[in-house]
Chains A and B, each alone.
Chain A
Amino acid sequence: MSFEPRILGIACNWCTYTGADLAGTTRLHYPQNVRVVRVMCSSRINPSFIFRAFQLGADGVLVGGCHPGDCHYNTGNLYARRRLATTKKILEFAGLEPGRLRVEWISASEGNKFAEVVEAFTTQIKNLGPQTKLKIPQ
């Protein structure tokens, strides 16, 4: 039985979530390993959410927001970019595989980008294998 990753996706309502819906209306197919939480803005993401996601057993975390400069709330993702970058560096220094957290800017019109990113990230996580470092054993 091959490894089927469980990936947490966090998508901002105005851009990435809408882009994901567009991928759907366009009937683009992609692997079904990403489970999406909808938030209003990528800036809602507290870095501790990401730590918790890995503790819950997520093999990968994919964060999607508007392109910098296009945030529906003007500047939210500009803060998010800095905060997510620091989070990534912290996880890396702790020793987590760098590829497990990925941040992508996907706009509402980029349905195919969403599908491509999910496809690529799922493959990446498959190659990295199950995440066992932060996962709390059941």
Chain B
Amino acid sequence: MSRIGVFVCHCGLNIAKTVRVSELAEFAATLPDVVIARDYKFMCSTPGQEMIQHDIKEYNLDRVIVTACSPLMHEKTFRKVIENAGLNQYLLTIVNIREQVSWVTSDVEEGTAKSKALLNGAVYRARLLAPLTSRVIDVNPDVMVIGAGIAGIQAALELANTGKKVYLVEKNSTIGGHMAQFDKTFPTLDCSACILTPKMDNVLQHKNITMLTYCEVTEVKGYVGNFDITIKQKARYVDHSKCNACLACTEKCPGKGVSEWDESLVKRKAIYIPFPQAVPQKPIIDKNSCTFFLKGKCRLCEKVCEQKAIDFEQQDTFIDVKVGAIIVAIGFDLMDTKPLVQYGYGKYPGVYNSLEVERLFNSAGPTAGKVTLRDGKEPKSIAILHCIGSRDKNYSEHCSRVCCMYSLKFAHLFKEKTSADVYQLYIDMRAAGKGYEEFYNRLSEENVKFIRGKGARVTESTEEPGRLIVEAEDTITSKFMKIPVDMVVLSPAIVPRAESRDIARLLNLSTDKQGFFMERHPKLAPLSTMSEGIFIAGVCQGPKDIPDTVAQALGAAAEALTIVVNDKMELEATTAMVNPASCCGCQNCVRVCPYGAPAFNYEKRVSEINEALCKGCGLCASVCPSSAIIARHFTNDQILAEMEGLMEF
């Protein structure tokens, strides 16, 4: 038997004009279990609140019903009111007779009748309410950032500057990501390395950042505030604690591997650092091109190393790290354009993709910044093809957002560094960012030949051996064009990294149709995911330029901070729970939960819900065939009772 107090608010005349509030209170007093029923002008005012608190004590109330405005307005207010009077905050029900009654009718009879029905429903429900306590868990103050490109670096620095300890995990042997490969960045033509390398150095020097390069995440256990992560430190065969980065080993090494950093345009040594400003500066050995690993001979590096840092016996090691929040910033790949055979990438030596061209422009690249083809000659005529694989139903439906701008950049740089004719074949010119349209306008004065038509095909010229012919339709003049060029630059679609599927699996992240990580809400929560405590930033969330990437990285740092800034966090109280005695083991709940909160215990053969992950939506409770799941505060009993009360009069 409950002791219910009903408090009906006039809200001035807002409610009282259309609902006979005193009659409503009198009606409430007639209902079973209602011990006291009052009406008052402004229930949310201080005297109103005090009235409720006084009655709770005087009448020993164990349930409170406030009949007033919408719960979306004042549920939190009145929860605090009753909590301060010693009652659990979940023993409150709000009946909405303002937004959903008095404001939407002028018929007093109708309004009063409906209010009575709603109140009756609330009384039925209130009888079955149960006190709930939010569980409080400890929160680990550290954060892990996976991916050390510009997004990861920026997020790590931001968090480290607040005093938080950050683990920055990078699968390559250097941090910097793709941005470190670029030459100049649009639209200001800043030197990419000049703006990035100071940040990379900050990361190296920062006392709060633990840089874990050449590492991969292999297992993630736990939940928000308490993630338990296993990281594999891949064998470098160089002991970085001894190495002093003199790089003598790299001079003598006879081994030859293909340079990943230079997009396979040139070879590198087997013991190497990817580029001169790599952080850390210490080399690694690539087993697949090392003469010792392949043939058992050489060991020259070991001989010249004064620090005795070479260690051919080194194994992969595993590190366990505990953190409170995770930021994923693993960046992107360019789509492999070989399957689009019509463009001849991989077939004709004169066809390049955009990252390869960045390396050509880069003064530390394979051609020391000169624009020369693979045979060393300077191209006399260059075609830049937009949208290769992007905006394409057969490959990537999305627009890759940055290619128009970097293609314009390339046109400008080609004009600056060569005397070549430059043809720009585009579908639309997407120049939406700050200074972008102005940059595009500058280009029109640089004698770049813009052709509004997607490059259709690249073939070998039959008339001039070694030259290529680019075919397209100029849709403005409606003319078919065949342009003889020496060099073709493709702008391939930006696609998620191949590893993103593994990361998604490890962290229980969803990916969208294109494979990019899915945000919790496309507009209102672009950096959080459905996995509480795990955030995303940068191109791994979707193609974007550097300013937007940095903005997201800073935002993700703030998001992560909201988790780890406190040493304790309160979990949602209105979570779901499985009654194991009733669970039939169908696993419906496990299949449907968007948050992965239920998990099947294969030994006990019942489902168990991790309350740290549960958001209280109730989907599991409704798909449970044996009614084994208790969706706290919205139990089957409570809802059925409310329905009974609503339909009684």
A and B touch in the complex (CB under 8 A): yes
Per DSSP, chain A at the interface is mixed
Q: CB of A133 within 8 A of chain B?
A: no
What residue in chain A is nearest B18 (Cβ atoms)? A32
Q: Which residue of A lies closest to B101 (CB)?
A: A32
User: Cβ of B619 and Cβ of A28 under 8 Å apart?
Assistant: no
User: A21 to B72, Cβ gap below 8 A?
Assistant: yes
Task: List residues 51-97 of chain A with CB under 8 A from any CB of chain B.
Answer: 52-53, 56-58, 72-76, 79-80, 83
Question: Are B105 and A37 touching (Cβ within 8 A)?
Answer: no
CB-CB under 8 A for A41 and B617, given A21-B100, A32-B111, A74-B594 = yes
A29 lies within 8 A of B639 (CB): no
**Does the CB pair B98–A24 fall under 8 Å?**
yes
Q: Which residues between 621 and 646 of chain B lie within 8 Å of chain A, taking CB atoms?
A: 621-623, 631, 634, 636, 639-640, 642-644, 646
Once bound together, how far apart are the Cα atoms of A75 and B592, in whole Å? 8
**In the complex, per-residue mask of A117-131: 1 if CB is within 8 Å of any chain B CB, else 0:** 000000000000000
Q: Which residue of B has the minimal Cβ distance to A30?
A: B104
Which of B112-120, B230-238, B416-424 is the interface stretch?
B112-120
Minimum CB–CB distance from A126 to chain B (whole Å) comes to 14
Is B104 a contact partner of A79 (Cβ separation < 8 A)? no
B103 at interface, CB cutoff 8 A: yes
Question: Does any Cβ of B come within 8 Å of A107's Cβ?
Answer: no
Partner pick for B636 among A38, A46, A57, A74, CB 8 A cutoff:
A46
Q: Inside 8 A of B187's CB, which chain A residues have their CB?
A: none
Residue in chain A with minimal CB distance to B112: A32
Is B257 in contact with chain A by the CB < 8 A criterion? no
Contact of A39 among B71, B117, B520, B618 (CB under 8 A): B618
Given A21-B72, A25-B99, A35-B121, are A74 and B104 neighbors across the interface (CB < 8 Å)? no
B104-A56 in contact (CB<8A): no
The answer to whether B647 has its CB under 8 Å from any CB of chain A is yes
Instruction: Find out whether the CB atom of B622 lies under 8 angstroms from the CB atom of A46.
Output: yes
Q: Is B110 an interface residue (CB 8 A)?
A: yes
From A43, A57, A72, give the contact of B647 (CB < 8 A).
A57
Q: Which residue on chain B has the smallest CB distance to residue A58?
A: B647
**Chain A nearest CB: distance from B371 CB in Å?**
47
* Interface residue ranges of A6-47 to B (CB < 8 Å): 6, 8, 13, 17-18, 20-21, 23-25, 27-33, 35-41, 43-46
The answer to whether residues A83 and B70 also contact, given A52-B643, A73-B615 and a CB cut-off of 8 A, is: no
The reply to whether the CB of A101 lies closer than 8 angstroms to some CB of chain B is no
Contact A41 B643 (CB under 8 A): no
Instruction: Known A6-B647, A17-B72; judge A35-B520 contact (CB<8 A).
Output: no
Shortest Cβ gap from A77 to chain B (Å): 9
Q: Is B106 an interface residue (CB 8 A)?
A: yes
Q: Mark B402-442, 1 if CB is under 8 A from A, else 0.
A: 00000000000000000000000000000000000000000
Most chain A beta-carbon neighbours within 10 Å: one of B99, B110, B510, B631: B99
- Within the assembled complex, what's the spacing in Å between the Cα atoms of A39 and B640? 12
A46, A52, A80, most chain B CB atoms within 10 A? A46
**Interface residue from B98, B520, B574, B646 paired with A37 (Cβ < 8 Å):** B646
What's the Cα separation between A4 and B622 when bound, in Å? 31
Q: Is the CB of B640 within 8 A of A49?
A: yes
- A115 interfacial contact with B, CB 8 Å: yes
Q: Closest B-chain residue to A21, C-beta based?
A: B99
> B435 to nearest A CB, angstroms?
34
- The answer to whether residues A35 and B618 also contact, given A25-B103, A28-B104, A52-B643 and a CB cut-off of 8 A, is no
Q: How many residues of B contact A (CB 8 A)?
A: 44
Q: How far is the CA of A108 from the CA of B643 in the complex (A)?
A: 23
A residues in contact with B640, CB < 8 Å: 49, 52
Closest Cβ neighbor of A37 among chain B residues: B642
Please name all residues of chain B whose beta carbon is closer than 8 Å to the beta carbon of A29 when the two chains form the complex: 104-106
Q: Which residue from chain B places its CB closest to the CB of A41 in the assembled complex? A: B617
* A79 and B646 form a contact (CB under 8 A): no
Question: Is A76 touching B619 in the complex (CB atoms < 8 A)?
Answer: yes
Closest to B523 in A: A70
Q: Determine the distance from Cα of A49 to Cα of B647 in the docked complex, in whole angstroms.
A: 13
Structural contact, A21 and B70, CB atoms closer than 8 A: yes
- CB pair A24 B107 closer than 8 Å: no
Q: What 1/0 mask marks residues of chain B from 230 to 250 whose CB sits below 8 Å from any chain A CB?
A: 000000000000000000000
Q: Which residue of A lies closest to B574 (CB)?
A: A40
Question: Is A23 a contact of B622 with CB atoms below 8 Å?
Answer: no
Give the contacting residue for A49; candidates B118, B121, B619, B643; CB below 8 A.
B643
A6: nearest chain-B partner, CB-CB? B647
- Residue numbers in A under 8 Å from B639 (CB-CB): 37, 39, 44, 49
Bound Cα distance A85, B464 (Å): 66
B100 to chain A, nearest CB (A): 6
When distances are taken between beta carbons in the complex, the residues of chain A under 8 Å from B48 are none
**In the complex, which of the residues A18, A32, A39, A43 contacts B110, with contact meaning CB atoms closer than 8 Å?**
A32
Q: Are A24 and B594 in contact (CB under 8 A)?
A: no
Q: Is B616 at the interface (CB under 8 A from chain A)?
A: yes
Which of chain A's residues have a CB closer than 8 A to the CB of B644?
56
The answer to whether B643 touches A37 (Cβ under 8 A) is: yes
* A44 with B622: CB separation less than 8 A: yes
- B630 to chain A minimum Cβ distance, whole angstroms, is 13
Residues of A contacting B551 in the complex (Cβ-Cβ under 8 angstroms) = none
Q: Are B647 and A56 neighbours in the complex by a CB distance under 8 Å?
A: yes
Contact status B646-A27, CB under 8 Å: no
Interface members, chain B 521-563 (any A CB < 8 Å): 530
Q: How far is the CB of A31 from chain B (nearest CB, A)?
A: 8
Q: Which residues of B contact A35 (CB under 8 A)?
A: 114, 117-118, 121, 646-647
- With A41-B619, A44-B617, A44-B631 already in contact, the answer to whether A32 and B594 are too (CB < 8 A) is no
- Contact residues in A for B71 (Cβ distance below 8 Å): 38
Cβ-defined partner of B619 (8 Å) among A17, A37, A44: A44
Residues of A within 8 A of B114 (CB): 32-33, 35
Assess the B72–A39 pair: CB atoms within 8 A.
Answer: no
* CB nearest neighbor in A for B107: A32
Inter-chain CA distance A83–B111, complex, in Å, is 33
A25 CA to B69 CA, complexed, in Å? 11
- Measured CB to CB, the closest approach of chain A to B513, in angstroms, equals 12
Q: State which of B99, B510, B619 has its C-beta within 8 Å of the C-beta of A43.
A: B619
A110 to chain B, nearest CB (A): 14
- Please indicate the chain A residues that have their CB under 8 angstroms from the CB of B103 in the complex: 24-25, 27
Structural contact, B104 and A75, CB atoms closer than 8 A = no
Q: Which 6 A-B pairs have the closest CB atoms?
A: A24-B99, A44-B618, A43-B619, A73-B617, A24-B103, A74-B594
Contacts A/B (CB < 8 Å), 25 sampled:
A8-B647, A13-B72, A18-B72, A21-B96, A21-B99, A24-B70, A24-B100, A25-B99, A31-B110, A32-B101, A35-B121, A36-B96, A40-B634, A41-B617, A41-B618, A43-B617, A43-B622, A46-B636, A49-B640, A56-B644, A72-B617, A73-B594, A74-B510, A74-B520, A75-B594
Other contacts beyond A21-B96, A43-B617: 16, CB < 8 A: A8-B646, A24-B98, A24-B99, A29-B104, A32-B104, A32-B105, A37-B643, A40-B634, A41-B618, A49-B640, A58-B647, A73-B619, A74-B520, A76-B617, A79-B592, A79-B623
